[in-house]
């Protein structure tokens, strides 16, 4: 991958990272904004709980993505970005554009998915 492409992906990843950080801040503020009386009201408890679970799930997904973005940014710095972690071949630019945090080339990704489904041993 040439330097120009690397810079481009670095920018994309940094933008995603700051978007995620902002989203995480909003989630925190929302959480603090929950009225304490509401939490103790048994009638409303069920809906409050499911809302909190949803937020927790979102936070989980966001933090996984955030870790992936940070790893990808480290790889850019180390000059290892865009290389498949299994076969060490270059991951295609098109695949990276669709999914900048990907760590595997399409071939290895497909093999991994098949293994996860239990088709291969
Ligand atoms: Zn591969």
104 vs 87: CA distance, rounded Å: 8
Ligand 1 mean position, distance from CA 1 (Å): 16
Task: Tell me the β-bridge partners of 90.
Answer: 83
5 and 61 co-located in one domain = yes
Task: Please tell me the predicted confidence (pLDDT) of residue 63.
Answer: 85
Number of domains in the chain: 2
For the chain, how big is the Rg over CA atoms in Å?
20
Ligand 1 mean position, distance from CA 93 (Å): 14
Determine if the pTM surpasses 0.85.
no
Instruction: Please give the average per-residue pLDDT across 84-97, as a whole number.
Output: 96
90 vs 104: CA distance, rounded Å: 9
37 and 75 co-located in one domain = yes
Q: How many residues does the chain have?
A: 121
Assess contact for 13 and 100: CB atoms under 8 A.
yes
Ligand 1 mean position, distance from CA 9 (Å): 19
Task: Tell me the β-bridge partners of 11.
Answer: none
50 and 95 co-located in one domain = no
């Amino acid at each position: 991958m040439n330097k120009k492409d690397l810079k481009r992906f670095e920018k994309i990843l940094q933008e995603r990272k700051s978007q995620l950080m902002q989203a995480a801040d909003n989630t925190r503020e929302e959480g603090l904004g929950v009225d304490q009386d509401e939490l103790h009201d048994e009638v409303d408890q069920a809906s409050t709980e499911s809302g909190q679970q949803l937020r927790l799930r979102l936070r989980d997904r966001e933090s996984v993505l955030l870790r992936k973005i940070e790893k990808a940014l480290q790889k850019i710095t180390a000059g290892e970005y865009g290389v498949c972690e299994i076969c060490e071949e270059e991951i295609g630019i098109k695949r990276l554009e669709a999914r900048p945090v990907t760590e595997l080339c399409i071939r290895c990704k497909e093999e991994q998915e098949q293994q996860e489904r239990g088709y291969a041993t």
